[in-house]
Structures are given as structure tokens and as C-alpha cells.
Structure 1
């Protein structure tokens, strides 16, 4: 979140950088900086003339829609800030064309990649639009199957200890800390282990934690710890306190519907992309003959 006290230019820059999709969409029309209404001679929707190009209200609205959180913060000034960003964008684009940058290999490649991304996203969005709104029974099932998020929801106060150590030391330390029952014992063990570490306390709501982590935290008692191995060491989470703050099914209804819709959209896209892969002839070559481990066929819209 960017505060409203940010300077106008900084906020406009944020809107500009967040509107890459809009810029590419305009590029795809084959008429940079111009809207269909302008091409047809309808000037009622034109909000700015930038040299020989025009900017329409539709482009302003599209930029704001691309950054709803920032648009909400800007309030009534949002359209004006968005227009400032579009003017800067158009001026820079015109200068780039005059300098011949639109013909350079690097820019041509970037434009082609952006065009592909926009088209792919449009197709995936089309797939996701077929999603069906979850009914009350589905919402109730989700609520009942996740008590750690709702009926037994907790606020966790955690001590996070970040340890840097070689793998053998990490495994030994992890095994020991998970057998301890107090934060004092954990701190003493880490202090005496000769490793480099840092500590901080944090307060986390259940819904703000990854599900795989939450599923382990729910079983910890105050003072107990769990270790998470990382490439460069170990993260020790010690439970200092857990306060139950349950959420009723009525309170959770909207959040659950949103989560189910998101999951359903993701599944529709994944199925659609898998269908495309099965029909297509794809051949990886050379150093790319093998796909990356854990590669996903599609990203959720």
C-alpha cells in the first residue's frame, strides 16, 4: 500500500509502471496512444492531445482499473494522476520511436513477449469466466473442513530465530529445538551452539500463514518450536502465545466464496491449458530438452 502523502509524481509513476498491460493493449490496436472512438472521429471521449496522438477517457479508466488499490487511495485525484502518467508514457513512446528504439532487437523482442503475455492472459481469463459461483453447501463444507481458519482461528505470537549454519549443524539443531518446551531453553541452545543468528517477534493471524505451516503450528503448545530448513540455514518458530479468535460462518462467508472462486478459476485454467498441450505438438530441444522440475502448465488469472 502506498500512502496518500506520497508525491504526485511518485504515485503517477506507480500507476505508469503498473499499466504495462494497458500499454501493450494499445500497441496491439496498431494505433499507439489512440482509442477506437478517436479513430472513428468521436472526440467527446478524448481527454488529452499529445502532439499527433490522443488519449481517451477509456484509457484513463483502464489504467485505474489495472491498479485498484492505488486508485482507491488517490480518490478523486485518481483520473488526473492516471492521465499524467499516460501523457508521460505517450511522450516517452513518441521519443523512443523518433530515436528508432522501436526497431532495436531488444525492444522488438520485449514487445513480442508482452504481446504474447497479453494474448495468453486474455485466453486464460476467457477460460476462467466459465466459473460457477459456489453455493451455500460448498461454503459450509469449506468452513467445516478448515477449523484452524474459522471455528478455531487463532492469533499467533511467534519468536522467529533465523540461523545460518551448514546442513549437518542445521539438522542437529532442528532435532534438538523441536524437543524443547520453553523459549528460554531454545534461546540458550541457539546461543551456545556457536551459529550466527538473529531474532524477532511477530504477531500472525491464522489466515496470514501458509497452510502447510499453519497445519503444524496448530499442534504446538506455548514454548514449543518447529524448525524449517532452508538452503542457508534454519528458521525456528517458537510459539509464545496463541489466542483463539473464532470467526462465525456468517463472518467468513464472503472470504470463503472468494477463496472457492479463486480455486475454481485456477482449476479451469489448468484444465484448459492441459487440453491445449495435449492437442499441440511441443518439442523441447538442446539444453531445454527436459522440462523444469515442478513446472506448472498454467498460472491462475
Structure 2
């Protein structure tokens, strides 16, 4: 019987380095143009309310009667994580941020003059931004209270996952992908066990008039779900296995491979980052589950007619614009290890 499992099924710890790398890459590459998108949310909430003017000891610029404070500039820069930037770079970024804040204030003034701040659509967007900011602040406070992963925990993770680090491989595979039909996995398993080549199996499928797609791919260890990686890791070049989902069956033939290890010293900082993200995701999910259990939630109207949706995950419970936590984990690990090669 061939080994049958899913090539596509994700696992929570699969893409370890992607978390650190993607997060840092996003922050280090963030521009004032991007960062002002979040600042705009604060600006919109205060739009048209002169009594809510900020109190600032320093004023960087005045746009009409409205002041732009140094504090506003610093708030945007703080989101850019400029701790490693040179003083000249920070000064240049401050100027760019100020110019964008001026543009923003000009747009806000025009919007207020045209009474756009009273339109139902804009009011709805302002309320949505406010809800998102508050929800994000709660999640950030929750995460900030969590203990940081220790070096010992990171070393343990490194030792327990040699297939991702010390014995990490890059796999060149050939694939045959076809719809999952009753009994087909067993038939392909028999052919695979008998040592039939990929070409032989392709001809078999043609003879049975079973549609399939073929292709080749190069996959690093961190790009492969852990349950599948544990099966693929022991294979020698020239061997094959089957991967199955409810919709598809994939024959994976290992054409060749090479070992590309990641040493402990290089891996540990990113492992700590990964473990921190993993701990945060679990804490958010647990906290949100508790909040749902203690809150009185009533589904109304058409939503009361069907079964209530299951409790949201840690990723889904975070503010809407944020990428799903698990997806971020996967993306960060994959790109992180790739950057270590």
C-alpha cells in the first residue's frame, strides 16, 4: 500500500523562518506612504472635530489653522521601526513623513469643507477604522504581556526538527496530479510499489482515460507540510510516493535532492521569533474563545436561521486588514530559510 497523505495540508510549525523574515522585511521596507495609511485612520476619526485637536509641545508645520506636531511624525516613524537607521536616514524620513502629513491635512480640510465627513459611507469607514484600531490595540496588549521564548526553547526546537535545519534538503520532484476517484489511490499505490516509473503511471492513466496534469518543481524542506516532509525526508533519489486530498491525488517522484543545512547559530534568532508568534497565536485563540464563552452572543435575522459559525481562530479574531496569523507564519518561515542559503 502506498503512503497516502496530503501534499497541501499545512501544519502550524511548518514555515518557521518566514515569520521573522516577513515581519522584519515588512517593517524595514515600510515607507512613509504606506505607514500613513494607518495614520489616516486616526486622522479620519478626528476629522471635523476642532475640540479634539492634539496637544503638542512642538509644532512641525501649520496648514491653515491646523497644526502638525512632531509627535505625529514620531508616531509614524515608530511604526517604521527605525532603531537601526542612521540619524541622517531618520531625518530624511521625518521630512518625507511631514510632507505626507501636510498632504493628508490638506485632503482632510477639503473633505470637511465639502461635508464628506457626514456622508454615510465615510461615517461607516471611520467607525470601521476605529473598531479596527481598538481591536488591534487589545490584541497587541495581550501579546505584549506574554513571556518571550528562551534560548533553551529555541535550541530544543532546532534539535527536534533536523529535517528543517541540520538535515535540511532541497527536493527536485516530478508530479502527476489527478482528480481523486474511488479506488484510484489503491491502484496507483500498487503500481508505485511495483516500481513503475512516472511515465508508466502516466500511460496507465491515459489508458484508463483519467485526466491528469504533470509538472516538475523544486521544493525546500520548509515549503512542505511537516507530515509529508516526514515521509519525503527518508526517500532516496528515484523513489516515489502518493499524496492525497479529498479532491486530488498527486504522485510525487523524487528525481534528485541535495542537503542544504542551516546551522544552529543562524537559525536560533528566527526560531525564537517563530516561537513567539506561535505563542501569540495560541494566546489570542484561547483568549477569544474565553471571551466568546463568557459573552452573550445572539444571532439575529437570517443569521439566526442557520447554525452559528464555529469560534474564530486566532488569525480570524485579529483586526480585518491583518493577514491571517497562520498564513503569515508560513510565508515568513519559507522566505526566512530561503534567505539563509
Q: Would you say same fold, with TM above 0.5?
A: yes
Q: Within 5 A, what are the aligned runs for 1:14-33?
A: 15-17=32-34, 19-28=36-45, 30=46
Q: Within 5 A, what are the aligned runs for 1:50-69?
A: 50-66=63-79
Q: Tell me if structure 1 keeps the 8 A contact 2:191–2:201.
A: no
- After TM superposition, give the deviation of residue 78 of structure 1 in Å: 4.0
SS in 2 for 1:90: helix
Q: Tell me if structure 2 keeps the 8 A contact 1:19–1:66.
A: no
Q: Given the superposition, is the C-alpha separation of residues 218 and 56 from structure 1 closer, same or farther in structure 2, using an over 3 Å criterion?
A: farther
- The separation in 2 between residues aligned to 1:81 and 1:189, in whole angstroms, is 64
Which residue is equivalent to 1:112?
127
Q: Given the superposition, is the C-alpha separation of residues 135 and 43 from structure 1 closer, same or farther in structure 2, using an over 3 Å criterion?
A: closer
Q: Given the superposition, is the C-alpha separation of residues 62 and 227 from structure 1 closer, same or farther in structure 2, using an over 3 Å criterion?
A: farther
Task: Spell out, residue by residue over 1:114-142, the C-alpha distance to the aligned partner (whole angstroms, 9 max, x if none).
Answer: 21111011111111111112233322322
Q: Are positions 1:152 and 2:164 aligned together?
A: no
Q: Tell me if structure 1 keeps the 8 A contact 2:175–2:216.
A: yes
Q: Within 5 A, what are the aligned runs for 1:28-43?
A: 28=45, 30=46, 39-40=54-55, 42-43=57-58
Which residue is equivalent to 1:4?
none
Q: Are positions 1:296 and 2:320 aligned together?
A: no
**Total equivalences in the alignment:** 278
Which residue is equivalent to 1:172?
184
- The separation in 1 between residues aligned to 2:118 and 2:190, in whole angstroms, is 60
SS in 1 for 2:40: helix
Q: Which segments of 5 or more consecutive residues in structure 2 lack a partner in the other structure?
A: 1-20, 22-28, 319-324, 329-341
TM-score, length of structure 1 as denominator length: 0.71
- The separation in 1 between residues aligned to 2:202 and 2:113, in whole angstroms, is 63
TM-score, length of structure 2 as denominator length: 0.64
- After TM superposition, give the deviation of residue 111 of structure 1 in Å: 1.6
Q: Given the superposition, is the C-alpha separation of residues 178 and 244 from structure 1 closer, same or farther in structure 2, using an over 3 Å criterion?
A: farther
In angstroms, what is the RMSD of aligned CA positions? 4.1
Which residue is equivalent to 1:256?
271
Q: Given the superposition, is the C-alpha separation of residues 15 and 90 from structure 1 closer, same or farther in structure 2, using an over 3 Å criterion?
A: same
SS in 1 for 2:308: coil
Q: Within 5 A, what are the aligned runs for 1:74-153?
A: 76=89, 78-153=93-168
Q: Are positions 1:227 and 2:240 aligned together?
A: no
- The separation in 2 between residues aligned to 1:188 and 1:264, in whole angstroms, is 48
Match of 1:195 among 211, 218, 236: 211
Q: Tell me if structure 1 keeps the 8 A contact 2:48–2:112.
A: no
- The separation in 2 between residues aligned to 1:160 and 1:49, in whole angstroms, is 63
